[in-house]
Structure 1
Amino acid sequence: MDLTQLEMFNAVASTGSITQAAQKVHRVPSNLTTRIRQLEADLGVELFIRENQRLRLSPAGHSFLRYSQQILALVDEARMVVAGDEPQGLFSLGSLESTAAVRIPSTLAHFNQRYPKIHLALSTGPSGTMIDGVLEGALSAAFVDGPLVHPGLEGLPVFPEEMMIVAPYGHAPITRASEVNGANVYAFRANCSYRRHFESWFHADRATRAGSTRWSLTTGCWPASSPAPAWR
């Protein structure tokens, strides 16, 4: 099955005549007849009911017509997207939730003004989910926590981030994980890359968490250029 066969099939379906369809697609009738027969053999069904000099769609032909029209429409759309000088089409972007809320709104607004023909679809989630989306082709690109180490992907740093630990007022300054050894800690959910960084901080300092520690989704984001909350 190829696009030429689909175009021929649609021409015959719309005209009900091999002769008229051949004129429409600029082919000789015998070539059209052969290609339609080849398409039917490939599908294993008869697409037309032949009545004297007329052809009308069979039940299978009616079903196939809908899909063939969708395929040809998508092909035309793809040609328009790649043929134009101005970028257009769908751009699926993934992002961490905090990044989407704080870092990129103005960037996306500027992008939309510069490329109005691009339809931007934004999805949010943890880094692992976003990376999987890029690998699977569901996302065109994604903002994730770095550094990115994957043989099938390329990444570059765009925003510096600082991780903070926030304690009640009056708590002694916290500079090491051991200084909150055994405390209840609220952090990021299990599949979040920030969570892994936080756990590594505990592990490197040989610190432990309390048995009743709850590691939940409690997130925050401060731009690295702004004053950071006190570690206390």
Structure 2
Amino acid sequence: MNSTSLNLFKTVAETGSISAAARSLHCVSSNVTTRLKQLEASLDVSLFVREKNRLYITPEGELLLRYANKILALLEEAELSMLGTKVAGPLRIGAMETTAAVRLPSILANFHREMPSIELNLKTAPTETLVQHILNNELEIAFVADHPGLHMENSPLQSHVLCQETLVLVTTAEHQNVITGADLQVTRPLVFVKGCNYRSRLGEWLCLQGVDCADPLEFGSFQAILGCVSAGMGIALLPENVVRQYENNFPIRSHTITPQIGKVNTMMIWLKSREVSRVLNHFVSFITRA
């Protein structure tokens, strides 16, 4: 048993299947199966049981997983401690504006304290633009809204869930409670530029509600959107944590919408095919162990 076999076991436990683990580890399924059987044989236990093409971890596997998490975390911490002073260079990061404003400040501050020799450069843009920047090697890493394209079998992108956002409909403070589109007193969408996932979701919700609305007004910042919403110009769909942070600055009100549209993961993405630099590897490791 070594760190490689523990990492393989941990990946199988997290993904629930040999094929998914193989994709994550960038190897063939037969290799994962063989190495997993070797680990079970060396420990003389069954770590998984198979039911309907899915693996379920056994009690012995649960015990080993707890140790594996501790051991791998300690190894990573030791490596970062040894290499931390030697790793230097720029890291180009992209993020949606709302993520950059609310989610990233503490993350980037903590990472900078741990790795002060890495120069962080942050660019904000909508999801579709950020994905294209990653594909064009214009960014090393980006934080985007989840969408089906990230999960295609042959996607060139690697991804990791940073958090789940709750999106809320935003109106003037005096607006009545909005349960359906019929409750809206004003319907013009106030949105970011095209390519924004939240913009698409607002359009989808209005369409499902049968709301016939005017053409959207585009803005470059969420502060401008909130200001114009509070002035009665229209409605917006934004992360709840952003709205809560600024509701004392603007007379606005938030309304919950259906989870199918109102729940969305923020994903960290980078290129699978990229020969991962030590700078990028340290940042990815920092986020995934947080």
- TM-score, normalised on structure 1? 0.55
Q: List aligned pairs for 1:2-21, cutoff 5 A.
A: none
Give the CA deviation at 1:85. 3.2
Q: What CA distance in whole angstroms lies between the structure 2 residues aligned with 1:177 and 1:156?
A: 34
What CA distance in whole angstroms lies between the structure 1 residues aligned with 2:211 and 2:174?
22
| Distance apart, 1:148 and its partner CA | 5.5
1:172 aligns to what SS in structure 2?
A: coil
Alpha carbons of 1:170 and 1:120: their partners in 2 closer, same or farther (altered >3 Å)? closer
Deviates more, 1:84-93 or 1:118-127: 84-93
2:255 is aligned with 1:231: yes
- The 1:185–1:133 alpha-carbon spacing in structure 2 relative to 1, beyond 3 Å, is closer
- 1:85 partner letter: L
Q: Judging changes above 3 Å, is the alpha-carbon distance between structure 1 residues 99 and 120 closer, same or farther for their aligned structure 2 residues?
A: same
Equivalent position to 1:173, from 159, 177, 185: 177
Between the aligned partners of 2:216 and 2:149, the Cα distance in structure 1 is 29
Q: Which structure has the greater CA radius of gyration?
A: 1
Per-residue CA deviations over 1:194-226 (Å, capped at 9, x if unaligned) read 10011111122222213xx442222655428x6
How has the CA–CA distance of structure 1 residues 118 and 197 changed in structure 2, closer, same or farther, with 3 Å as cutoff? Answer: same
Q: CA distance change for structure 1 residues 106 and 182 in 2, over 3 Å: closer, same or farther?
A: closer
Tell me the distance in 1 between the aligned counterparts of 2:186 and 2:174: 18
The amino acid that maps onto 1:168 is T
1:118 counterpart residue number: 118
Structure 1 counterpart of 2:206, from 202, 209, 219? 202
Q: In structure 1, what is the equivalent of residue 89 of structure 2?
A: 89
The answer (yes or no) to whether the contact 1:148–1:154 under 8 Å persists in 2 is no
Residue-by-residue CA offset, 1:155-175 (whole Å, 9 max, x unaligned): 222122222222234432112
Q: Which amino acid aligns with 1:139?
A: L
1:139 alignment counterpart: 139
Instruction: Please identify which structure carries the higher strand content.
Output: 2
Shift of 1:133: 0.9
Residue 218 (structure 2) pairs with residue 216 (structure 1): yes
AA matched with 2:241: P
The one-letter amino acid of 2:200's match is R
Please identify, of 115-124 and 184-193, the stretch whose mean Cα deviation from structure 2 is larger: 184-193
Q: How many residues align?
A: 147
Sort the Cα spacing of 1:152 and 1:178 in 2 relative to 1 into closer, same or farther, 3 A: farther
The answer to whether the 8 A contact 1:95-1:125 is kept is: yes
Give ranges in structure 1 of 5+ residues lacking alignment: 1-83
- Structure 2: distance between partners of 1:92 and 1:145: 18
Q: Which residue of 1 aligns with 2:194?
A: 190
- Residue of structure 1 equivalent to 2:162: 158
User: Contact 1:181 / 1:207 at 8 angstroms: preserved in 2?
Assistant: no
Runs of 4+ more than 3 Å apart: 219-222, 226-230
How far is 1:190 from its partner?
2.4
Which moved further from structure 2: 128-137 or 200-209? 200-209
In structure 2, what is the Cα distance between the partners aligned to 1:194 and 1:121?
Answer: 24
Unaligned runs of 5+ in 2: 1-81, 220-224, 227-237, 248-252, 257-290
- How much identity, in percent, do the aligned residues show? 24
C-alpha distance in 2 between matches for 1:205 and 1:93: 37
Q: Secondary structure at the match of 1:171?
A: coil
CA distance in 1, matches of 2:254, 2:174: 11
Aligned counterparts of 1:135 and 1:208: Cα–Cα separation in 2: 36
In structure 2, relative to structure 1, the CA distance for the partners of 1:148 and 1:102 (3 Å cut) is farther
CA RMSD in angstroms comes to 2.9
Structure with greater contact order relative to length (CA < 8 Å, sep ≥ 6) = 2
